[in-house]
Structure 1
Amino acid sequence: MSPALIALIVVAVVLVVLLIASIRIVREYERVVVFRLGRLRGARGPGLVLIIPFIERTRWVNLQVDTSDIPPQDLITKDNVTIRVEAAVFFRVVDPIKAVVAIRDYKHGVLRIAQTTLRATLGRRDLDDLLANQAEINVLVQETIDQSTEPWGVRVVKVETKDVGLPDTMRRAMARQAEAERERRAKVIAAAGEFEASRKLSEAADVIADSPGALTLRTLQTLAEVATEHNSTLVLPIPIDVLEMVKRAEDAPGRGARFERTT
């Protein structure tokens, strides 16, 4: 084999190796940031990407939504209540060049910004406001973090508060408050029922006053209801009007004399 043929084979093998080394397959949700001799050449992909071996360097960036758990944060609310908050932040890269050039590690940076923003935002809220308006506070935290990460080419999609830990003393106080509130509502409902019942009784008394026979019918109905219970004791209600008539008859003048003559 001649030296020229050997050299040709070697060159062909080197070219094939360089061609294989220059091929990059970039998936749809990825981008490749290319640097040529240290200078930025832009982002490439998706699909087949060719680079110059040994001259160009690449950094891969994932464009999918990523999530990170924010470590539990101990903070003091506006009304001086110590709580422990756990949350999660969802974010994605929208500008791969900024994500590579503007910051060394954008994931770590987003997590740190999320921690400080969470403490600062929740620390300006009362405990009742924090528990009642949790969704609104999550949106506020998300917008604040997004403003800080925009120069890095990262967009914060969502921030979710997973758990708000309260001290045992505060939980007992809130339980007592809730119990007192339920008792207050029960008393108000009972008072409203008594008021409504008194109005109905007043209306019934007016009906009975207009029709004296209604009282007798009601008395007989009450006796029938008592008799259905198979009781051995029968209570016979006497109208107050009858008692008043008897009393007036006893207090009438001359009754005592007539009684003496009879005896």
Structure 2
Amino acid sequence: MGAYFVTGTDTDAGKTLVASGLLTLARRRGRTTLGLKPVASGCDVTSQGLRNIDALTLGEQSTPEVPYDVLNPYAYAPAIAPHLAARRAGNVPTLDDLVAATAAPLAWRRDLTLVEGAGGWRVPLNDHEDLAGLARRLELPVILVVGLQLGCLNHAILSAEAIRADGLQLAGWVGNLIEPGLSFDETSDAALYHNNLDTLTRRLPAPNLGILPRLDGESPIARAEAAAKHLHLPEID
């Protein structure tokens, strides 16, 4: 399986849900796993320091366990764009910083390692670099999470083009249903939804690794378990 960078078509596309679901699936098959969230904003203040729910969720699906500061070396409290949160905190990382922070855990070569970005492909890291640069520097194939809602076709196709333009392989894509009111039911809206899926399948130059229905009202761990039932691991399935 190897290591992959997980990005999304937008903020809240479902990156952590998909990443934790893939890690869960790999764990069920007896594989070693690791989920990394190098940069996270929107962190909670705890007695142990800043903690991000997405990073904690990835940590729960990482086997063997790793310390939190390995999972999420750059954590910021404000729920705003990472580069703005970092600027406010006075601790703005560079790509060199992130490469250094991820070098050791990547060297562990667990069966499945997922490095989750923040927001979409071009989200800024600082005034001169973006998080896509981390995937480029680490030479990781990319898994794209498509938030299935109005406008997703444009977002997905542009994201795939940007990934390829950066010289990286799009290893697979996952659709995550986030449009309110839509389901898999046979309605006129559902028919349009399936037509959109057909378009994505034709236009995205990578295999589909799964389509997630809405998984509302559950804990992050329960949602990861539920997501795993709808996913396929890259390369081996």
TM-score by length of 2: 0.19
**TM-score normalised to structure 1 length:** 0.18
